[in-house]
Structure 1
Amino acid sequence: MSELLDPTNDYVFKRLFAEAPDLLVDLINDLRPDLPDIASVEILNPNIEPNELTGKYIILDVLARDGDGHCYNVEVQVRRYGAWHKRGLFYLARTLGTQLSGGEDYQELRASVGLHLLDFDLFTGTEAEREQAVWRFEMRDERQPDISLGNILQMNLIELNKADRLGLPEGPLRAWITFFKHWQEELTMANVAHEPVKKAMSRIRELSADEETRRLAFVRERALRDEVSLLNDARREGEAHLFAKLVKMKFGELPEWAQHRLEQANSDQINEWSAKILIANSIDELFKH
Structure 2
Amino acid sequence: MEDAERERNGELIGPALGPVTAGQIEADLERGKIYRLNDRFFKFLFGREERKPLFLDLVNALVFPDGSAGFTDFEYANRELSAARVEGKDCYLDIVANMADGTQVEVEVQVRNWNDYLQRSAYYLSTLHASQMGLGGSYLDLKRTVSIHILAFSLFSGERFRREFCLCDVESGEKLSDDLKLIYLEVPKYASYGTPRNRLEYWLMYLAGMEAKKMPEAMVKDPMIGEALNLEKLFLQSREERQRYIVSYKAMRDAMTRDETIRRVARAEGEARGEARGEARGLAKGLNEGEAKGIAATARRMLARGVSSEQVADFTGLSPDEVEALRVGIGN
CA contact 1:11–1:60 (8 Å) conserved in 2: no
- What are the residue-to-residue correspondences of 1:36-115 with 2, within 5 Å? 36-45=69-78, 61-115=94-148
Deviation, 1:59, is 7.2
Deviation at 1:22, TM superposition (A): 2.2
Distance (Å, rounded) in 1 between the aligned partners of 2:169 and 2:277 = 50
**Structure 2 counterparts to residues 1-289 of structure 1, below 5 A:** 2-19=31-48, 20-33=51-64, 36-45=69-78, 61-124=94-157, 129-130=158-159, 132-145=160-173, 147-167=174-194, 170-188=197-215, 190-192=217-219, 193-239=221-267, 242=270
**Higher alpha-carbon deviation: 166-175 or 5-14:** 166-175
RMSD of Structure 2 on Structure 1 (CA): 2.8
Is 30-39 or 194-203 further displaced after alignment? 30-39
CA deviations on 1:256-288 (whole Å, 9 max, x unpaired) are xxxxxxxxxxxxxxxxxxxxxxxxxxxxxxxxx
Of residues 239-248 and 194-203 in structure 1, the stretch that sits farther from structure 2 once superposed is: 239-248
The one-character-per-residue Cα deviations of 1:29-73 (angstroms, maximum 9, x if unpaired) are 1111177522222222469xxxxxxxxxx9761111112321111
Q: 1:197 to 1:185 in 2, by over 3 A?
A: closer
Write the distance in 1 (CA, Å) between the matches of 2:275 and 2:150.
44
Q: Which residue of 2 aligns with 1:270?
A: none
C-alpha distance in structure 2 between counterparts of 1:5 and 1:241, whole Å: 37
Distance 1:240 1:5 in 2: 34
Q: Which residue identity lines up with residue 242 of structure 2 in the other structure?
A: R
CA distances 1:188-223 after superposition (whole Å, capped 9, x unpaired): 164414322222222222112212211211211111
Displacement, 1:169? 6.1
Deviates more, 1:108-117 or 1:227-236: 227-236
Shift of residue 91, structure 1, vs aligned partner: 1.0
Query: SS where residue 156 of structure 1 aligns?
Result: strand
Using the size of structure 2 for normalisation, the TM-score is: 0.63
Corresponding residue of 2:7: none
* Residue identity opposite 2:55 in structure 1: L
Higher-Rg member (1/2): 1
Structure 1 unaligned residues grouped into runs of 5+: 48-57, 251-289
Which structure has the highest strand share of the two?
2
Name the SS of the counterpart of 1:121 in structure 2: coil
Q: 1:27 to 1:16 in 2, by over 3 A?
A: same
Deviation at 1:142, TM superposition (A): 0.7
Partner SS state of residue 80, structure 1: coil
| Unaligned ranges ≥5, structure 2 | 1-29, 81-90, 279-332
Residue range with higher mean Cα deviation, 148-157 or 165-174: 165-174
Quote the Cα distance in structure 2 between the aligned partners of 1:89 and 1:167. 31
Write the distance in 1 (CA, Å) between the matches of 2:73 and 2:38. 25
Assess, with a 3 A threshold, how the Cα gap between structure 1 residues 96 and 235 changes in structure 2: closer, same or farther: same
Assess if the C-alpha contact under 8 Å between 1:45 and 1:63 holds in 2.
Answer: yes
How many Å separate the matches in 2 of 1:248 and 1:123? 33
Distance 1:191 1:169, change over 3 A: closer
User: d(CA) in 2 for partners of 1:247 and 1:159?
Assistant: 35
2:182 is paired with a residue whose SS is: strand
Query: Which moves more between the two structures, 226-235 or 13-22?
Result: 226-235
Shift in Å at residue 110 of structure 1? 0.7
The DSSP-based 3-state class of the residue aligned with 1:93 is helix
How far apart are 1:233 and its partner, in Å?
2.9
Tell me if the contact between 1:10 and 1:60 (Cα under 8 Å) persists in the aligned partners: no
Report how many residues are paired.
Answer: 235
Letter of the structure 2 residue corresponding to residue 38 of structure 1: F
Please state whether the residue corresponding to 1:68 is helix, strand or coil. coil
Aligned-partner residue type, residue 8 of structure 1: L
User: What is the DSSP-based 3-state SS (H/G/I as helix, E as strand, rest coil) of the residue aligned with 2:37?
Assistant: coil
